[in-house]
Amino acid sequence: MIEAHGLVKRYGSTMAVDDLSFSIRPGMVTGFLGPNGAGKTTTMRMILGLDAPTQGSVTVGGHSYRDLPAPMHEVGALIAAEGRTVLVSSHLMSEMALTADHLLVIGTGQLIADTSVEEFVRSSSQQSVHVRSPQAAELAAVCREADATVDAGTDPDVIEITGMDSAEVGRLAAAHGIALSELIPVRASLEEAFMALTRESVEYQAAGATR
Protein backbone atom coordinates (compact mmCIF):
# COMPACT_ATOMS: atom_id res chain seq x y z
CA MET A 1 0.00 0.00 0.00
CA ILE A 2 1.31 3.42 -0.98
CA GLU A 3 -0.47 6.32 0.71
CA ALA A 4 0.00 10.05 0.27
CA HIS A 5 -1.71 12.66 2.41
CA GLY A 6 -1.79 16.33 1.43
CA LEU A 7 1.51 16.27 -0.45
CA VAL A 8 2.82 19.73 -1.29
CA LYS A 9 6.17 20.51 -2.88
CA ARG A 10 7.41 23.99 -3.64
CA TYR A 11 10.68 24.99 -5.24
CA GLY A 12 10.98 28.64 -4.32
CA SER A 13 7.96 30.35 -5.87
CA THR A 14 7.18 27.33 -8.10
CA MET A 15 4.46 24.93 -6.96
CA ALA A 16 5.39 21.46 -8.23
CA VAL A 17 2.79 19.42 -6.31
CA ASP A 18 -0.30 20.97 -4.76
CA ASP A 19 -2.19 19.08 -2.02
CA LEU A 20 -2.04 15.59 -3.54
CA SER A 21 -3.59 12.64 -1.72
CA PHE A 22 -4.02 9.06 -2.95
CA SER A 23 -3.94 5.39 -1.91
CA ILE A 24 -2.56 2.61 -4.10
CA ARG A 25 -3.62 -0.85 -2.96
CA PRO A 26 -1.73 -4.09 -3.70
CA GLY A 27 -2.80 -5.48 -7.06
CA MET A 28 -3.82 -2.08 -8.40
CA VAL A 29 -1.86 -0.57 -11.29
CA THR A 30 -1.85 3.21 -11.08
CA GLY A 31 -0.40 5.65 -13.60
CA PHE A 32 0.24 9.38 -13.34
CA LEU A 33 -0.74 11.22 -16.51
CA GLY A 34 0.07 14.82 -17.27
CA PRO A 35 2.27 17.18 -19.25
CA ASN A 36 5.88 17.96 -18.38
CA GLY A 37 5.99 19.92 -15.16
CA ALA A 38 2.76 18.45 -13.79
CA GLY A 39 4.60 16.98 -10.79
CA LYS A 40 4.70 13.28 -11.72
CA THR A 41 8.42 12.77 -11.16
CA THR A 42 8.45 15.05 -8.14
CA THR A 43 5.76 12.87 -6.55
CA MET A 44 7.82 9.74 -7.28
CA ARG A 45 10.86 11.39 -5.72
CA MET A 46 8.89 12.17 -2.57
CA ILE A 47 7.66 8.56 -2.37
CA LEU A 48 11.31 7.44 -2.50
CA GLY A 49 12.51 10.01 0.00
CA LEU A 50 14.69 11.75 -2.59
CA ASP A 51 12.79 14.99 -2.06
CA ALA A 52 11.22 16.06 1.23
CA PRO A 53 7.62 17.30 0.99
CA THR A 54 7.04 20.93 1.84
CA GLN A 55 3.87 19.69 3.52
CA GLY A 56 2.15 16.34 3.89
CA SER A 57 3.47 12.79 4.06
CA VAL A 58 3.80 9.63 1.99
CA THR A 59 4.29 6.05 3.16
CA VAL A 60 4.94 2.65 1.63
CA GLY A 61 3.43 -0.21 3.62
CA GLY A 62 2.76 2.16 6.47
CA HIS A 63 6.35 3.42 6.70
CA SER A 64 8.36 6.14 5.05
CA TYR A 65 10.73 4.77 2.42
CA ARG A 66 13.75 5.72 4.53
CA ASP A 67 12.44 3.69 7.48
CA LEU A 68 11.99 0.44 5.53
CA PRO A 69 14.58 -2.11 6.75
CA ALA A 70 15.26 -3.43 3.23
CA PRO A 71 13.57 -0.94 0.90
CA MET A 72 14.61 -2.50 -2.42
CA HIS A 73 13.07 -5.81 -1.38
CA GLU A 74 9.75 -3.95 -1.28
CA VAL A 75 10.06 -1.11 -3.79
CA GLY A 76 11.94 -0.85 -7.06
CA ALA A 77 12.24 2.41 -8.92
CA LEU A 78 13.85 3.93 -11.99
CA ILE A 79 13.82 7.67 -12.50
CA ALA A 80 15.30 7.99 -15.98
CA ALA A 81 17.27 10.99 -17.13
CA GLU A 82 15.21 11.32 -20.29
CA GLY A 83 12.09 11.91 -18.23
CA ARG A 84 10.50 8.46 -18.07
CA THR A 85 9.77 7.49 -14.49
CA VAL A 86 8.89 4.03 -13.31
CA LEU A 87 7.87 2.96 -9.81
CA VAL A 88 7.51 -0.68 -8.94
CA SER A 89 5.79 -1.51 -5.67
CA SER A 90 4.16 -4.66 -4.33
CA HIS A 91 2.83 -6.19 -7.58
CA LEU A 92 3.26 -3.25 -9.94
CA MET A 93 5.64 -3.47 -12.87
CA SER A 94 6.31 -1.37 -15.95
CA GLU A 95 8.68 -1.85 -18.83
CA MET A 96 12.22 -0.68 -18.18
CA ALA A 97 15.25 -0.76 -20.40
CA LEU A 98 17.58 -2.25 -17.78
CA THR A 99 20.50 -4.50 -18.60
CA ALA A 100 21.14 -7.74 -16.73
CA ASP A 101 24.41 -6.30 -15.39
CA HIS A 102 22.59 -3.25 -14.04
CA LEU A 103 20.05 -5.46 -12.29
CA LEU A 104 22.80 -7.64 -10.83
CA VAL A 105 24.66 -4.61 -9.45
CA ILE A 106 21.48 -3.26 -7.86
CA GLY A 107 20.55 -6.70 -6.53
CA THR A 108 24.00 -7.28 -5.01
CA GLY A 109 23.88 -3.95 -3.24
CA GLN A 110 20.53 -4.85 -1.73
CA LEU A 111 21.44 -8.48 -0.88
CA ILE A 112 19.02 -9.84 -3.48
CA ALA A 113 20.06 -13.30 -4.65
CA ASP A 114 21.68 -13.42 -8.09
CA THR A 115 19.41 -16.35 -8.94
CA SER A 116 16.34 -14.14 -8.50
CA VAL A 117 17.74 -11.55 -10.90
CA GLU A 118 18.78 -14.23 -13.38
CA GLU A 119 15.31 -15.80 -13.26
CA PHE A 120 13.69 -12.45 -13.97
CA VAL A 121 16.07 -11.62 -16.83
CA ARG A 122 15.56 -15.07 -18.34
CA SER A 123 11.80 -14.77 -18.08
CA SER A 124 11.76 -11.24 -19.50
CA SER A 125 13.45 -12.48 -22.69
CA GLN A 126 10.99 -15.36 -23.27
CA GLN A 127 9.32 -15.29 -26.69
CA SER A 128 6.82 -17.19 -28.76
CA VAL A 129 6.47 -17.60 -32.51
CA HIS A 130 3.23 -16.90 -34.34
CA VAL A 131 2.87 -19.26 -37.30
CA ARG A 132 0.29 -19.48 -40.08
CA SER A 133 0.50 -22.58 -42.25
CA PRO A 134 -1.87 -24.79 -44.23
CA GLN A 135 -0.02 -27.64 -42.49
CA ALA A 136 -0.26 -26.15 -38.99
CA ALA A 137 -1.33 -29.41 -37.35
CA GLU A 138 1.62 -31.26 -38.86
CA LEU A 139 4.03 -28.50 -37.76
CA ALA A 140 2.53 -28.55 -34.26
CA ALA A 141 3.24 -32.27 -33.95
CA VAL A 142 6.82 -31.83 -35.15
CA CYS A 143 7.46 -28.96 -32.71
CA ARG A 144 6.01 -30.89 -29.78
CA GLU A 145 8.37 -33.76 -30.61
CA ALA A 146 11.18 -31.21 -30.31
CA ASP A 147 9.95 -30.33 -26.77
CA ALA A 148 8.36 -27.01 -27.76
CA THR A 149 4.99 -25.90 -26.41
CA VAL A 150 2.30 -25.34 -29.02
CA ASP A 151 -1.00 -23.52 -28.54
CA ALA A 152 -3.71 -23.69 -31.15
CA GLY A 153 -6.50 -21.15 -31.40
CA THR A 154 -9.78 -21.18 -33.25
CA ASP A 155 -8.08 -20.76 -36.63
CA PRO A 156 -6.86 -24.22 -37.71
CA ASP A 157 -4.06 -22.62 -39.76
CA VAL A 158 -2.58 -20.62 -36.85
CA ILE A 159 -0.46 -21.84 -33.91
CA GLU A 160 1.71 -20.19 -31.27
CA ILE A 161 4.99 -21.96 -30.51
CA THR A 162 6.98 -21.39 -27.31
CA GLY A 163 10.36 -22.89 -26.56
CA MET A 164 12.13 -22.22 -29.85
CA ASP A 165 12.83 -19.11 -31.87
CA SER A 166 11.56 -18.30 -35.35
CA ALA A 167 14.78 -19.49 -37.02
CA GLU A 168 14.46 -22.89 -35.36
CA VAL A 169 10.81 -23.15 -36.38
CA GLY A 170 11.71 -22.22 -39.96
CA ARG A 171 14.47 -24.82 -40.15
CA LEU A 172 12.18 -27.48 -38.68
CA ALA A 173 9.43 -26.65 -41.17
CA ALA A 174 11.87 -26.75 -44.11
CA ALA A 175 13.30 -30.09 -42.98
CA HIS A 176 9.79 -31.62 -43.02
CA GLY A 177 8.58 -29.91 -46.20
CA ILE A 178 6.00 -27.79 -44.36
CA ALA A 179 4.87 -24.60 -46.10
CA LEU A 180 4.71 -21.41 -44.00
CA SER A 181 2.52 -18.40 -44.74
CA GLU A 182 3.54 -16.35 -41.66
CA LEU A 183 6.39 -16.70 -39.19
CA ILE A 184 6.41 -13.88 -36.66
CA PRO A 185 8.42 -13.78 -33.40
CA VAL A 186 6.43 -12.36 -30.48
CA ARG A 187 8.50 -11.15 -27.55
CA ALA A 188 6.92 -10.96 -24.10
CA SER A 189 7.02 -7.60 -22.35
CA LEU A 190 8.64 -7.14 -18.93
CA GLU A 191 5.18 -6.70 -17.45
CA GLU A 192 4.13 -10.09 -18.76
CA ALA A 193 7.33 -11.69 -17.48
CA PHE A 194 6.91 -10.08 -14.06
CA MET A 195 3.30 -11.17 -13.78
CA ALA A 196 4.28 -14.70 -14.82
CA LEU A 197 6.84 -14.81 -12.02
CA THR A 198 4.42 -13.47 -9.41
CA ARG A 199 1.15 -15.06 -10.53
CA GLU A 200 1.02 -17.22 -7.38
CA SER A 201 1.20 -14.25 -5.02
CA VAL A 202 -0.73 -11.50 -6.79
CA GLU A 203 -4.22 -10.80 -5.59
CA TYR A 204 -6.19 -8.95 -8.24
CA GLN A 205 -8.95 -6.65 -7.17
CA ALA A 206 -11.47 -5.15 -9.51
CA ALA A 207 -14.44 -2.92 -8.88
CA GLY A 208 -17.80 -4.50 -9.52
CA ALA A 209 -19.66 -3.59 -12.67
CA THR A 210 -22.21 -0.80 -12.39
CA ARG A 211 -25.27 -0.17 -14.45
The CATH number for 134's domain is 3.30.70.980
Residues 115, 181, single domain; the answer is no
Residues 115, 187, single domain; the answer is no
The pLDDT of residue 127 is 73
Residue 205 belongs to a domain = no
| Parent domain of 100 | 95-125
Q: Say if CB 138 and CB 179 are below 8 A apart.
A: no
Q: Say if CB 145 and CB 201 are below 8 A apart.
A: no
The pLDDT of residue 189 is 55
How many Å apart are CA 14 and CA 54, to the nearest integer? Answer: 12
Residue 201 belongs to a domain = no
Chain centroid to Cα 11, Å, comes to 32
Q: Say if CB 180 and CB 131 are below 8 A apart.
A: yes
Residue 19 belongs to a domain = yes
Per-residue H/E/C for 66-102: HHCCCHHHCEEEEECCCCCEEEEECCCCCCCCCCHHH
Residue 6 belongs to a domain = yes
Residues 132, 76, single domain; the answer is no
Residue 23 belongs to a domain = yes
Residues 120, 99, single domain; the answer is yes
Residues 80, 105, single domain; the answer is no
Residues 137, 66, single domain; the answer is no
Note down pLDDT in tens along the chain; length 211 residues: 889 999 999 988 889 999 999 998 877 777 888 888 888 889 988 998 888 999 999 998 888 888 888 776 777 776 654 444 444 443 333 333 444 555 555 555 454 555 555 555 555 557 789 999 999 999 999 999 998 999 988 899 999 998 888 889 999 999 999 999 999 888 655 555 555 555 555 555 445 444 4
Residues 52, 118, single domain; the answer is no
Residues 105, 82, single domain; the answer is no
Residues 131, 120, single domain; the answer is no
Tally of domains in the chain: 3
Rounded to 5°, the CA angle 78-81-84 comes to 60
Written as one string, the DSSP assignment of 30-41 is ------TTSSHH
DSSP secondary structure code for residue 12 in this structure:
T
Residues 57, 108, single domain; the answer is no
Residue 120 belongs to a domain = yes
The pLDDT of residue 75 is 78
How many Å apart are CA 25 and CA 17, to the nearest integer? Answer: 22
**Report field, pTM of the whole predicted structure over 0.75:** no
Residues 8, 52, single domain; the answer is yes
The CATH number for 41's domain is 3.40.50.300
